[in-house]
């Protein structure tokens, strides 16, 4: 019997603020910046469940039933103030990572969605958190051995425009979308995997200021190698590895032709 996954996407809205109650106001403002103030988001939630395909229905779960389950879970959070209207963030900061973790627990508590494969929670178009089970479909270890992930992945999207003037011969295209993913444990004092502001600083220094609006063929990194999506990702990797907290997990680059490369920094095996 074939194993498959099914993903449902639903939007909801909520407001929150980031504050650690054991810190004074000055430290909270320093650590959390603009997120210290009350603000809201239009979230997008992706819930992926797994299971064996029923030979009669051809489904692992009825999509209508999955939609109803997701809607029921989100009712507790939709158009709510996460700090003030829900009981989950009395001792947790309602970051994207922590909210994803709470939602993971809610879905795992339901028998219909116990085989939860992943949750991806978008705070906006350029920032999202993902939690997933380490099990592959063919794994012999029971899903029950992994009630919730111990780590999360936070991803940030950046845009880059490249000068494609005559002489700048490359296969990148003129507009790139670059996703940087950091994997690690959710810090209990901040509710975050990494400091996004510090990641932004690294990106601004080694990507935006360096390449945006410029002829990339004139950059020293590409004097002795071809200019491709892969070589661009490879050139960025060592500069982003010092990211604060967590571990640089992936750089994904897509051009306007929908060509995408994903780079993990792991050397290719040589046969």
Note the pLDDT tens digit of each residue in 74-128. Answer: 999 999 999 999 999 988 999 999 999 999 999 999 999 989 999 999 999 999 9
Q: 131 and 9 in one domain? A: yes
What's the whole-number mean pLDDT along residues 19-48?
96
Q: Looking at 116, 138, 160, which one is the last position of a domain?
A: 138
Q: Which residues of 116-143 are buried (b: 16+ CB within 10 A; e: fewer)?
A: bbbbbbbbeeeebbbbbbebeeeeeeee
Q: How confident is the model over 210-230, as pLDDT tens digits?
A: 989 888 888 888 888 888 889
Q: Is residue 89 domain-shared with residue 154, that is, in the same domain? A: no
Q: How far is CA 27 from CA 30, 33, 35, 224, in A?
A: 5, 10, 13, 47
Give CA separation, 67 vs 71, 110, 235, in Å. Answer: 6, 14, 42
DSSP alpha helices (H): ranges in 117-242?
196-203, 209-211, 229-240
**Does 173 share its domain with 104?**
no
Q: Residue 144 falls within a domain, yes or no? A: no
What are the beta bridge partners of residue 118?
48, 132
- Kind and range of the H or E run holding 178: strand 175-184
The answer to whether residues 111 and 213 belong to one domain is no
Q: Quote the pLDDT of residue 269.
A: 38
pLDDT at residue 245, rounded to an integer: 84
Q: Has residue 143 been placed in a domain? A: no
Does residue 147 register a pLDDT over 70? no
Tokens linked to 219: 């950059």
The reply to whether the predicted model has a pTM over 0.95 is: no
Q: Enter the tokens of residue 248.
A: 């640089």
Q: Are 186 and 101 in contact (CB under 8 A)?
A: yes
Catalytic machinery residues: 35, 79, 123
Choose one of 104, 138, 172: the last residue of a domain.
138
pLDDT of residue 268: 43
212 and 163 inside one domain: yes
1 lies in some domain:
yes
Task: Kindly report the CATH number assigned to the domain that includes residue 171.
Answer: 3.30.479.10
- Identify whether residues 121 and 169 lie together within a single domain: no
Over 90: is that where the pLDDT of 189 sits? Answer: yes
119 and 27 belong to one structural domain: yes
User: What's the pLDDT tens digit per position in 237-262?
Assistant: 999 988 878 899 999 999 888 889 99
176 and 68 share one domain: no
CB distance 115 to 143 below 8 Å: yes
Give the CA distances from residue 198 to residues 105, 117, 152, 194, 195, in Å, rounded to whole numbers and listed in that order. 30, 30, 18, 8, 5
Answer yes or no: are the C-beta atoms of 248 and 237 closer than 8 Å: yes
Same domain, 122 and 159: no
For residues 203-210, average pLDDT: 92
Average pLDDT in the chain: 88
In a domain, 271, yes or no: no
Whether residues 160 and 121 share a domain: the answer is no
Instruction: Give buried/exposed letters for 3-18 (b at 16+ CB in 10 A, else e).
Output: eeebebebebebbbbb
Domain count, the chain: 2
The answer to whether residues 190 and 118 belong to one domain is: no
Roughly what angle, to the nearest 10 degrees, separates helices 229-240 and 196-203? 130
- Per-residue pLDDT at 265: 73
Same domain, 102 and 178: no
Domain range enclosing 202? 150-266
Residues 6+ positions from 51 with CB-CB distance below 8 Å? 3, 4, 5, 6, 60, 61, 115
Q: Is the pLDDT of residue 166 over 80?
A: no
In whole angstroms, what separates CA 241 from the centre of its chain? 17
Q: What six digits make up the tokens of 161? A: 């425009």
Cα 184 to Cα 182: distance, rounded to the nearest angstrom: 7
């Amino acid at each position: 019997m074939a194993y498959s996954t099914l993903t449902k996407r639903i939007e909801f809205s909520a407001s929150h603020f980031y504050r650690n109650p054991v810190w004074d106001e000055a430290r909270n403002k320093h650590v959390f910046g603009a997120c210290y103030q009350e603000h809201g988001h239009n979230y997008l939630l992706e819930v992926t469940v797994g299971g064996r395909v029923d030979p009669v229905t051809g489904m692992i779960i009825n999509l209508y039933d999955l939609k109803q389950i997701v809607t029921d879970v989100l009712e507790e959070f939709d158009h709510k103030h996460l700090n003030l209207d829900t009981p989950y963030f009395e001792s947790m900061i309602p970051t994207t990572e922590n909210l994803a973790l709470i939602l993971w627990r809610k879905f795992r508590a339901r028998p219909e969605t116990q085989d939860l494969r992943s949750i991806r929670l978008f705070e906006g178009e350029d920032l999202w958190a993902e939690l997933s089970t380490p099990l592959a479909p063919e794994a012999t270890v029971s899903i029950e051995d992994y009630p919730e992930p111990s780590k999360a992945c936070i991803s940030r999207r950046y845009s880059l425009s490249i000068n494609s003037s005559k002489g700048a011969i490359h296969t990148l295209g003129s507009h790139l979308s670059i996703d940087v993913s950091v994997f690690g444990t959710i810090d209990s004092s901040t509710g975050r995997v990494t400091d996004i502001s510090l990641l932004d600083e690294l990106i601004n220094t080694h990507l935006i200021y360096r390449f945006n609006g410029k002829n990339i063929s004139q950059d020293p990194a590409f004097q002795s190698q071809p200019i491709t999506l892969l070589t661009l990702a490879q050139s960025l990797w060592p500069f982003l590895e010092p990211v604060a907290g967590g571990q640089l997990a992936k750089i994904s680059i897509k051009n306007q032709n929908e060509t995408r490369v994903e780079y993990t920094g792991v050397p290719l095996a040589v046969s």
